[in-house]
Structure formats: C-alpha cells, structure tokens
Amino acid sequence: MFTSWSATGRGAAQARPVPGVQPVTMRDRDCSHLPFNSLHLSLLNKSIHHAESISVPSSPLQAHVGTNYTPAAFERLHIRKILENSQQEIDRLNKALACLHATLERLKHKRDAFQIFFDEHTALLSPIRRAPLEILSEIFNEFLPAYFSEDSAAARRDRMLPSHICQGWRNLSLSTPQFWADIDVDVDTFAINRKLECVQTWLARSKQCPLTVKIKCVSAKYAAQWCSLLAVVLLYSSRWLDATIISTVVTDLSPIKHNLPLLETLMVDFLEWPRDAPFEFAPRLRRLMAPGCEALVNDALPWAQLLQSEVIYGSVPGCLAVMRKLVNATRLTIRPNFLDAIIDTFASYPPLRMKYLSLLLMAPKRSIRGIHECLDLPSLKTYGYSEGNTEWRVSSFVSLAVRSSWVLQCLEITLVDVIGKEDLTLLLQHLPDLSILSINCTSHCGTQSNNVQELITDSRAYCLVPRLTTVTFDYDEDFDFQLLFTMIESRYKLENNISAVRKAAINVVEKCPSSPPGRQPNKATCVGFRHLDFKWRM
C-alpha cells in the first residue's frame, strides 16, 4: 500500500525554496478536485479480491441450455433464484469496474500532472540554455537555409524564424549584426517599397557588420525603382565585403569610388560599363567575376592585386587581353563564348607567362583554338576543361605542358569526342606527377573510360602516371568493370614507387539504360580491394 505524494504534504521530502520561484503543487495542476488517498486503495483492493473470489455457478439445466426445452414449474423457480444471485454479483462487479475506472482516471490525471512538472523542470536543464550567446548566434547562422536568391518570401521568413521562438532568442537574433548582413534585391514586378523597407531594416540591424550585397535589375522599364534601390544601398558601400551588381540600366556608381575599403569579392555584369572607374580603388579586392568587354579591359581596376578571377569573353584574343592584366592571379576561370577571332598565327602572340597561376578552368561555348600555344604556366597544379564543341587538341595541350615544365597534379576534362589511344598515351606521358585524373567524353563515355583504364594499368614494361591515387570515370553500356579491377589490382603495389589507386568514382550518365546483369560490381567482386574508396554515383 502506498500513500499519496504532494510537494507540501506531511512526510514528503522538503525541497529547499528557490528565491524568486513559487513552489509548484498539485493544486496548480488543477487536480484538487480529484482526491486520492489510501481509503480509495483499500476499497479498490477489497473490490478486486471480492471479484477474484466470485465463481460462476454451475447450471442445473446445462444440458438444456441453447435448446427449445420448456422447464417445469419447480425448475423455473430454481432458475429465477439463480438469476437473482447472478444479478447481484453482476451489480457488484459493475461497481468494482466503476471504482477501478475512476481510480484509473485519477491516476492518469496525477501522472499527467507529474509529467508536466517533470518536463517543465527538465527543460531548465537543457544544454541550449547554458550555451554562450556567441555560440548560439553562430548556430543561428549555420542553420540558415541556403537559397540561390535571398530575395524571396521563404528566405526572409527563415531568416526571421529564430526571432519568433522566444523573447531571449528574439533579442539575440535582433542584436546579432551578421545575421542581417545579407542584402539581396531583385528589382522586378513586385512592389519595390516593401523590398526597400526590408533593406533598410536589415541595414539598421546589421550595425557596422561587413555586408554581402546582391542587387539586380534586368529590365529598363524598372529604371526608377533601380535608382531608388541604389540611393539606399550605395550609401553603405564602405561596408561592402562581397558585391554582386547586375544591371541592364545605365548605372551611376560614382558615389562608391574611393569608398570600398572592405571589398574582397566583386561580380558585375553591365549592359554599359559605368564611367569614372568606380572600382579603381579597392585595396582588399582579390576576386573578380565579370563578362569581358573593351570597357573592362581598359578600365582602371586593381588588376595586380586580383588573385582569383572568372572572365566571360567573346574571343580568345579578348581572354588573353584580360589575362595579361592578371599578372599575380592564382586561380582563373575563362569562358570564351563567340566563334570569331580565334588565333591561327601564334607568332603575333608571344607566350603569356603567369608564374603564380595554380588553377585554370576553361568552359568555352565555342572555339579556343590557339589559346594553349599562347600560355606559359609554370606553377599550374590543376587544369579543368569542359567543352561544347570539338576544338580541344592533345597536341595543343602537350605544347603547353612542355613549355611550362609544370608539376600538374589534377586533370579533369570532358570532351565531345573520344581521345584515341595514341593521343591519350602522349597526353599521359607528359603528366608524371598526376594524382587526380578524370577524362570523359559526352558521346562515348564507356569507350573513353576503357581506353584510360587500359593505359594506366601497370605493366612490367612501363607505368603511366605512377603517382595516380584518384580516378573518375563515366559509365554507359560499354564500360568494362574487369578493366577497372585489373587496373586497380595492378597498381596496388609497393615496389617501383607506384602509388595505389585509393579512390574511384563511377558516374552513371543520364542517357545510359539500366546496366545488364553482371555489369555492376558486387561485394564479392570488391572484397579484394578493401583499401579502395569506391563511389557509385547515379
């Protein structure tokens, strides 16, 4: 038998009072109307014991139950007596069940009250309550959803969400400047006044925090709205850290000249390049992304301090003109997108030596004929190429390799046509330090992958790219997995300074049908390559 418990009852554990905290009792849980004590338990136990002592009596007419038998007069009297006794027992059992049900309800209510009490006080011990405010604000930043554009109702809602949880989180959110330091506005058909209101609110909350600014207007019919936005945003140019400005409207950026002390990254796309060289003085500018134009080449930009650039230009000579200004660049992406003005006579273009460039990515939409012959890249470590035509040539690339005397470590190219085995051999012979390799084509990816696997398989006669550790292949119905495993097994040696291939990725192209049975590797096939980090990418 147990007794009831209350926070203030006799015999209960006396809790020490906490200053400023009112003691919580069961009355506060609205359970005062549900008394429960040892008397209830005593009655309940008696009812249960009585119910267990009851046995169903035997029937004097068991053989006739369920038949059409008509009992005699004395039998009817006997049956009525049995029914009276049975009804009394049924009434007692119903009372016991009612008592049990009421007791269960009281127990449930008390259990729920204690559970609420327990949960509320457990919450006080939550680790998040003890987290320093600086850590909590960083958590807010890390859990912000990533959107391609912050100029949307969903993005603004998610940014404001932490301020709607509780007063403490709201105060912290509103007082965390970097939480409001992203300004993203697309001038479109929606009312600009609401967006300007958000911009002004964000800017006020960001205090003196460096800003990431993305503003865009791609229709001249919104010129007035564009000017209204510039009137607000340009005032804060001294706090710009990253800036993206895209506009088809003639834009006056003269207010920001000599007022870009923090700017590190700049992405611009103008229908007409702004006058007065607004970006001439930006002492911390290191990254530039811009479409090429004569105004860009002739503009006074801090070219010598740019380390990372992405240039979209109409021709190879135009790309070279921009590259000549990037004398200290370490990472460069170029995207020639017109067919005109390719280079056929290299004598008029002496090799451009970029002694610090370590990464070069090219994604031309049209011809790049002649660009490799015009470069000298002694520090290049990573080369990437993805084409939309058939202009890439092994001989052109090899000429760059010979001239540069580089130590290239990563080669990732995607071509339209398959590279033949002879050209592929010539290519790999000039890359003895390569550790990461991906050579694929969009037309016959399985054939290209098989050619590469055959050539990099170690043999007693020779081994191409002896330092190779990571390979990526495209898969289609022609892909030969036996070649893959033969290549990996042949290179898993310790002699002759040959590196083992430890990472392999297979990309299934979208146009590829389901592979025939037996094509894909299974656990039994891979059991001998436990050292291999194998990835199958659908």
pLDDT at 406: 92
For residue 276, being part of any structural domain is answered with yes
Q: With bands split at pLDDT 50, 70 and 90, how would you rate the model's confidence at 517?
A: very low
Tokens of 280: 């001439």
Range among 61-70, 184-193, 436-445, 510-519 rated most confident: 436-445
Mean pLDDT of 287-301: 73
Asked if residues 209 and 239 have their Cβ atoms less than 8 Å apart, the reply is yes
Considering only CA atoms, which of 321, 474, 326 is closest in space to residue 412? 474
Task: For 216, list phi and psi in degrees, rounded to 5.
Answer: -145, 140
pLDDT at 332: 92
For residue 45, being part of any structural domain is answered with no
pLDDT in tens, 158-197: 778 778 888 888 888 888 888 888 888 888 866 788 888 8
pLDDT at 160: 80
Ordered DSSP codes for 295-343: HHHHS---GGG--EEEEEESSHHHHHHHHHH-TT-SEEEEEE--SSS--
For residue 251, being part of any structural domain is answered with yes
Whether residue 327 has pLDDT greater than 80: yes
What is the spatial distance between Cα 426 and Cα 167, in angstroms, rounded to a whole number? 68
Domain count, the chain: 1
Helices (H), 210-315: 223-233, 294-298
Q: With bands split at pLDDT 50, 70 and 90, how would you rate the model's confidence at 297?
A: low
Per the model's pLDDT, the better-predicted residue between 394 and 527 turns out to be 394
**Beta-sheet pairing, 287-291 with 503-508:** unpaired
Name the CA dihedral angle for 119, 121, 122, 126, rounded to a multiple of 10 degrees: 130
pLDDT in tens, 79-113: 888 888 889 888 888 888 888 888 889 889 999 99
Q: With bands split at pLDDT 50, 70 and 90, how would you rate the model's confidence at 37?
A: low
Mean pLDDT of 337-343: 52
Which residues touch 57 (CB under 8 Å, ≥6 apart)? 82, 85, 86
pLDDT at 22: 46
Q: What is the pTM of this model?
A: 0.69
How far out from the chain centre does Cα 323 lie? 33
Amino acid in the structure at residue 265: T
Q: With bands split at pLDDT 50, 70 and 90, how would you rate the model's confidence at 437?
A: very high
For residue 169, being part of any structural domain is answered with no
Place of tokens 């203030």: 8
pLDDT in tens, 395-427: 999 999 999 989 999 999 998 888 989 999 999
Average of per-residue pLDDT values in the chain? 79
Asked if residues 345 and 369 have their Cβ atoms less than 8 Å apart, the reply is no
Q: With bands split at pLDDT 50, 70 and 90, how would you rate the model's confidence at 53?
A: confident
pLDDT at 109: 93
Tokens of 83: 């029914």
Amino acid in the structure at residue 478: D
Lowest mean pLDDT among 50-54, 65-69, 251-255, 348-352: 50-54
Helix (H) or strand (E) holding 150: none
Per the model's pLDDT, the better-predicted residue between 18 and 42 turns out to be 42
Q: How many CB atoms are located within 10 Å of the residue 432 CB?
A: 13
Give the residue numbers spanning the domain of 268: 181-285
Which residues touch 309 (CB under 8 Å, ≥6 apart)? 287, 288, 289, 290, 322, 326, 329, 331, 332, 333
pLDDT at 337: 66
Asked if residues 498 and 458 have their Cβ atoms less than 8 Å apart, the reply is yes
For residue 510, being part of any structural domain is answered with no
Which residues touch 63 (CB under 8 Å, ≥6 apart)? none
CA distances from 448 to 187, 189, 388, 408, 466 (A): 47, 49, 17, 21, 20
Asked if residues 505 and 484 have their Cβ atoms less than 8 Å apart, the reply is no
Whether residue 210 has pLDDT greater than 90: yes
What is the spatial distance between Cα 482 and Cα 449, in angstroms, rounded to a whole number? 12
For residue 265, being part of any structural domain is answered with yes
For residue 257, being part of any structural domain is answered with yes
pLDDT at 33: 46
Per the model's pLDDT, the better-predicted residue between 37 and 182 turns out to be 182
Asked if residues 130 and 123 have their Cβ atoms less than 8 Å apart, the reply is no
pLDDT at 251: 84
CA angle 372, 375, 381 (to 5 degrees): 90
For residue 205, being part of any structural domain is answered with yes
Ordered DSSP codes for 435-465: -EEEEEESS-HHHHHHHHHHHTS--SS--SS
